[in-house]
Every structure is written in C-alpha cells, then in structure tokens.
Chains A and B, each alone.
Chain A
Amino acid sequence: MTTLPLMESALLSAVSRAKSESLALIEPASRPLIPERPLESGEQYRFHFDMRKCIGCKCCVVACNEQNGNPAELNWRRVGEVEGGHYPFTQRHYLSMGCNHCLEPSCLIGCPVEAYTKDPNTGVVLHSADTCIGCQYCTWNCSYGVPQYNAQRGVVGKCDLCHNRLSDGMAPACVAACPEGAIAVEIVNIAEWRRDYLPANAPGLPSADDSISTTRITLPDNLSPDTGRVDLHRVALEHPHWPLVFMLVLTQLCVGAFAVLWLLDRLGRASLNLAAFASLGLAGASLAASSLHLGRPIYAWRALKGLRRSWLSREVLTLSLFAGAAAAFAGMLLLDLPGRGAAGLITTLAGIAGIMCSARIYTVRARPAWFRAYTPAEFYSTALLLGPLFVELVNGGVPLWVRIAAIAGASVQLLTQLLKFLWLSRSEAFELRASSLLLSGRLRDLFVTRLVLLPGVGVALSLAATRGWILAAAFAASLIGEWLGRYLFFVSVVPKNIAAGFASSERKAA
C-alpha cells in the first residue's frame, strides 16, 4: 500500500466527495410514490417528476395508453428529451409529463361548454368526454399540449392523474410502471405553491407562469445552462381547421358588409336589399358551417354555456346576436320600416364585438404568434377589405368612400402582415422564430402569394375597377387572399409544448 501514487488520496477523495454530495441530495429511497395521508383543506394532488432518475425508457407512456385504452397516436403522458453541454461532458435528460393540474388551468378557462372542472377535493383538472363538443379550443389554450383531440371520438381527452385509482389506494399507471421511481404523486399546499412555483419550471418546458403548473420537477445538479429541447429543428404545420378558415373570413366579410350597408342606408342610399340578403345568407351559412369544425356538431348549442369565462362562448353569442340583428335590419330594409337605423347600428356593433371575440379566442399564451394585437388587426382588416367590395359588387353604384374603405382595408392588412412577420423573424422566442421560418421556408410561396394578392389585386384592381368583371375579379382575388391568409394563420402558428423526443412521430417530417 505504501507504493500507491501520491495522487491516490486526492483522486479517491474526489470521487467520494462527488459521491457523498450527490447522495446527500437524493431523497430517501423509501419515499412513497403516492400520498400516505388524505388531503387537507387548501391542498391538492400533483405529480412529482425526478429528472435525475428518469432513464427515458417511456414505460410511463405505454402504461398510460394501456390504462386509458388510447390509440397510439394519443399520448396523455409524453417523454421529451433535453440535451446540453459538449462531448464528452454532454448531459442528456428526459422529461416525462402528464397533465400539470394547474392552479389556473387555461384549458378550463377557455372551455365553452364547461367540460372541464378542477375537482374541489383533489385539485385534479377533470375533463368530461360527454360534455365536450370537440371544439378543441382547450388544445390551443394549454401551453403544454396536454389536452389532445381524439378525432375518432370527436372529443378531447387528457390525463386525469388516474384519480380513480388513487382513490382506491393504487398508483396511477405511469407511477406504477416507472422502473426508476421517477414519477410520484404528492400533496401540495396550494397557497404556498402559488407564492413560489419555481420548481414547476425545467428546461424543455414552457414557463409555469402561463397557468401555474403544479408538477414539481427535481432537476439534476449542475445542469448545463445550454440544456434545451432536442426537437427544435423540425416543426410540423398545425392543423388548418378548414371550417374555421372559411367561417372567420366570411363572418368578417359580413360584419364589414353590414357596417357599410348601415352607413349607406343612413346616407339615404336606396335598394340595398340584394346586398343585405346576400350578406345575411353568407353570415348564416358561415355560422352554420362553423359547426362542422366541432367533433360533435349536434351539441353546438352547448357552446353558450361558458359565457362567464370562454371567449368562444362569447363569440358564439355575439355572432348570433349579429346574425339576428342583421336579419332584422335586412327585413326592415326590405319592408322599408322605420327605426332600422338602430337595428343597423346594433348589427354593426354586435359584428365588431363578434370579431373581437373571435380574435380573443386566438390570443392565447400557448400560441405566441397569435398572442398579439396582430390577430384582431388581421381580422378587422379582413372586414374592412371584403365588406365594402362585396356590397359594391352585389349592389353596384356606391359612393367612392366604399372603394376607399376597401383599399384602406387591404393596406392595413398588408401592413399588419409585414409587421407581424418582422416581429416573428426578429424574436428570440423559439415558437415565434419557428413560425417566421415556416412562413419564409415551407410556406413561402403561399405567404408571398398572400402578400401580393393584397396590394396587387386588392388595391390595384379596386382602383382600376371601372367595370363589373374587374370588380368581381378584385373581390374574388381579395377573398382568396384572405382565405389564404387565414389558412396561413392556422398552420404557421407554433404552439408552446413540452419537449418531444428527437424522432418521435409527434412532429412529422413535412
């Protein structure tokens, strides 16, 4: 033993020091995986995830799917990967996430039918598949991508913390399946957590500020500061939601049209009937068509239930009011009844409110590219561009200011789009930059077409439209341009989400 090299003691103590440091931080091995006592008031259940223990085996994902009888495409629990540092001092870690059972669940706040409840006893964010109408608004609202739409069923589904197992004293499927004991359910004091929820944040996760996630994450020591998602280099296009593309543009058109009609009527313009009924028809058709977006269209009426919280409910209400008022206004125009000035005003105001409600649906934190005034600006510009053009096309013989309004609409829209793109492309945030890269990359041709249609066709043709067919072409081009714009609006948004694996099919190759 005397012949040991001098560095021996230094070496061994270095190893054992590292060892004891890490051991000291490791929680007791016997720590229970589910709570051993009932909840007291002011407390709720939540997940604890220990990133130090997770080996990325994905047992939790498979167990969750088996537990809930879900098809492979839906994963209420997902495992993402993060990486940092440089070889050979690379750090790779995994993030296993179900629902975070947030203190301010954005899914719940947005739901128009009150399909979500935050269980008063357990704090679990529950979703009722029987109440759900499949509007998917919650899937846009959650920063973690937790609620997932099951197209086969026409409803959304999500992790419910296996609370029915928990109440039987059994661990949730993910907890029970984890070979490393990395996932646990524990009790959290709600008030304390609201004061300090920093442990809900981790590399690869959106900020817990959005909804105050309750999941506590234990991070490895000395995590490399550049640790981040490994799935950032490929972004899939989001779903286009075709019924919504059509519905949004057409309702906005109709709002613009009725505003113009009301003003024209006020100014004493006669024989507006054709345009009024054409606009009314469009409004009715587009509102009816929008129910096709629902997984369960028969229950569309339920969407009025959530007025207290949901912008979707409010949109349904205001646009229904708009349609009702528009019908009254059109009828009064036809019968030349007095007092239609008030009806027209109500129609216009309801329409303006309706567009605002539409826009508020999309201005959610979980979808940063929508979470700006650009969204209402884009929607109102559509109304301003298409409404006047439509009235002129159908009715003919309108004053110049109508044409000027349309040109103003096209110009504001163009400005909105350019400023938005500039904002996206200069952003540091991944989701915004990725959105701009989609527009300048995979979606470039469509995006350029959209921009060219606005000044080139919307403005130039409108200016030049001395004949009916040119005006018709101007209107058609503008309408197509707006539809294209709304399509790009939906597909180019990059939602916040938890980190995914590098090769998971969740984010498909384009």
Chain B
Amino acid sequence: MSRQIDNSSIITDNAKAGFSNDLALFSSVSAKISVLLVIGLAACLPLFGSSYILDVANRCGIAIIAAIGLNILTGYTGLISLGNAAFMAIGGFAAGFLAVRGGVNTLYCIPLAGAITALLGMVIGIPSLRLKGLYLAMATLAAHFIVEFLVVKWESVTGGVAGLSIPAPVFAGLQLDNDRRLFYLIYGVVLTAILFAVNLFRTRTGRAFIAIRDHETAAGVMGIDVFRYKLTAFGLSSFYVGVAGALTACQAKIISPETFPFSLAIDSLAMIIIGGMGSVAGSVLGALFLTVLPEILRLATTALSGSYPALVGNLAPLKEMIFSILIIIFLVYSPHGIVSWWRSLTNKIRRDRVEQ
C-alpha cells in the first residue's frame, strides 16, 4: 500500500495565480501604510527602549531570520530539518573563527559565515536527494549531534567547550558592542531577509520549490530539475540560518557549544508551525510569539517569586509545558498557524465591505 503524503494540507497556499495577487503582502494602500508605520515605529525602539527590551528585540530578529531560513527548506520545499541548531552553530563558529583567528571585522564575517554555512548545508543536503520525509528528519538530527561533537573537539577553530569570545562588529568606526547599536544591524538584515524571501517565491526558483513540495514526482515530470532545486533550497536556507548564527555570536558576545542546543532546532520548527508553514509572514509572527512569550512568563514569575518562591524553579518546566501544549494545539486545531487567522480575518473584513 502506498501512503501518499499530502504535504499541502498543512501548508498555507502560496502559489498564486497571476502576478497582481503576488503583492498580497501589500495588497492595499492601507496595508502598505501600516507596514511602513510598523517599520517606522520599530526604528525608534532604540531611542526609548531599555537595554533589556532591546535584547529581547534583537533575539526576536535573529529568531525571525532563522525561522525564515527553516521555512524556505521545510515549509516551502517540504524538506524536514531537525538540524537548524547545527546550522546556526556552523554560522556562529564560522563567524567567530574568522573574527578571532582571522582578525576580520566581525561585520564582514556575518555574510561570510552565511556563505560557509550555505556551502556546508549543501554538502549535508546531498543525502536529501535520496531521503524523504522522516528519513531526512533523522539524518539532520544525526547531523546535529555530529556537528556538536565536532564543535566540542575541534578546539583550534571553535575554542572547544570554553568557546569563543566574539569581538564587536565595527561599522564606520563605530563599535557595535551593545544591543542598542546592534539593533539596526540585526533589523537591517531582518528586513533584507524578509524582502528577499517574499520575492523569492515570485521567481522561477521559488515556484520550483513549492512544486517539489506539493508533488515531487510531478514536479520532475514537469521538467523541474529536482536535484538542483533541492540543493538550492538547502543552500539558501542554510545561508539564512548561518547568518542568524553569526548574529547570535555578535549578540551573545561569547559562544560555546551549549549556545546552540538541540532544543533550538525544535524551537525553530515550533516557530514556523505556530506562525505558519510556507509563509514568510508566518515565520515572522511565530518567531516573535515564541521569543516574547517566555520573557512574559519570566517577568511574571520573577515578580511573583516574592510571594510564591516555588514559582522560580517551575518557570522552565512551565515554559516548556506551555510551548508543548501550543505546538500540539496548533498542529491539531490550527495547522495553518497564526498567519491563517490573520488571513481569514482580513478576508472576512473584505467580504463584509463588499456586502455593505
């Protein structure tokens, strides 16, 4: 019996008919204005936000980049990866190595790290040509533990368990050594990453990814070079994730093997599932949601710890429990993620308007 896997049931529809609908992200003038407004407001954040707020904001930004990267591979191309943390580690340590041992300005190390991760991602991706579905999930999981081992052992490059202390990126003579200064760098990258990803799925390459995800054999028959596009997906995705890893290094200032634990890979997957698979907006929403949520929990438990001391010790399991329940609930009841709520809401508003 053949079990045909129907990937499309979980994934938001994003191959659009006709070019006019492609601008769905900015489908109306009001939407355009509100997007610009959000960007404008966000740009002012460093002026009034405390350093703690900026730290959270920066971690959100990094999570967004990593989530978009994973979504390109898993959400759009249908290749399941449990290796996101490993790719982030490769990016982080590549940047760290170039900056510490090579003396390169950390700023330039960020794209270089992306490129190195992309290259390695493609090498690791080669087995994906043979493997599908859960087998690929297993292979990437194994890859995670092997990368972790190499990071610990290859001391001359990674600093081993002691890790690497990352020099601050320098932009036009300015040391980007705190979250306030890093904010613009990180969100510059975030914006570029979003725009590139949104545009990608209007190109031949992006459409090929989606075709492979929806039906690999059919895509091959249609003349899509499945091998080439799968490899491209691995490369592009790894580039994003590697950049996220390099930015993590800049933000954390010191990285060690435990900066990139396996749970990070699960977090990334949870982000795209809760946000919306196969949707750039979904990656953004999921990353924001899952990065801010633990902070709210932390603030609440810290504040209440005076009256309920036991809460402090229960924060971590509580957080994990809420995460896990959310993942399960979303998968079972809302497989299209947060982004689908938004869509149905705007559709409803539009319909209401037409009716009036």
Task: Answer whether A and B are interacting partners.
Answer: no
Chain B interfacial positions (CB closer than 8 Å to A): none
Chain A interfacial positions (CB closer than 8 Å to B): none
